[in-house]
């Protein structure tokens, strides 16, 4: 599973002009389930994201997790994180999980974050979404369950 985390002061996701989810302080998690991922992979990635110390403490150091600050998560599916650009100029996406499996794992990731105590908002799997965010820092962290 691949997750691109962006620390945000606010973020939202819309489909056809209708806001589906929005948060204030927390992180935007762009999520791509990869072929071979399991519900256990989703749970482990959610746990890792919830514990990452990417929020500032009183001294301004990145020393607090999203749980520590009482933040929220906006979880958006993004299969393009599976892009393979090694050959040619057109990315390949064959390493992404099949759509049904990808949707189940995306939902599992969001559910696991919620079970960890985070308020979670989501987009719509497979939809053409408009994501709006104010990246705080900016702080952007790449996570891959394979590494």
The one-digit pLDDT tens for each residue of the chain (147 residues) are 999 999 999 999 999 999 999 999 999 999 999 999 999 999 999 999 999 999 999 999 999 999 999 999 999 999 999 999 999 999 999 999 999 999 999 999 999 999 999 999 999 999 999 999 999 999 999 999 997
Residue 140 lies in a domain: no
Residue 78 lies in a domain: yes
Residue 73 lies in a domain: yes
DSSP state, residue 97: P
Residue 76 lies in a domain: yes
- Please count the structural domains in the chain: 1
Tokens 């990145």 belong to which residue?
62
Residue 65 sits in a domain of what CATH number? Answer: 3.50.80.10
For 64, the domain range is 2-85+94-131
DSSP state, residue 92: B
- Check if the beta carbon of residue 77 is closer than 8 Å to that of residue 126: yes
Residue 111 lies in a domain: yes
Question: What residues act catalytically?
Answer: 78-80
């Amino acid at each position: 599973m691949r997750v691109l985390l962006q620390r945000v002061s606010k973020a939202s996701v819309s489909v056809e002009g209708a806001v589906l989810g929005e948060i204030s302080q927390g992180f935007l998690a762009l999520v791509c389930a990869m072929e071979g991922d399991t519900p256990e992979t989703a749970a482990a990635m959610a746990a890792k994201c919830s514990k990452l110390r990417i929020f500032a403490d009183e001294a301004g150091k990145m020393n607090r997790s999203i749980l520590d600050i009482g933040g929220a998560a906006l979880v958006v599916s993004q299969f393009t994180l599976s892009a393979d650009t090694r050959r040619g100029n057109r990315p390949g996406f064959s390493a992404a999980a099949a759509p049904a499996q990808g949707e189940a794992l995306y939902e599992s990731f969001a559910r696991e974050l919620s079970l960890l105590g985070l308020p979670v908002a989501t987009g719509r799997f497979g939809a053409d979404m408009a994501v709006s965010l104010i990246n705080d820092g900016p702080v952007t962290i790449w996570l891959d369950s394979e590494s």
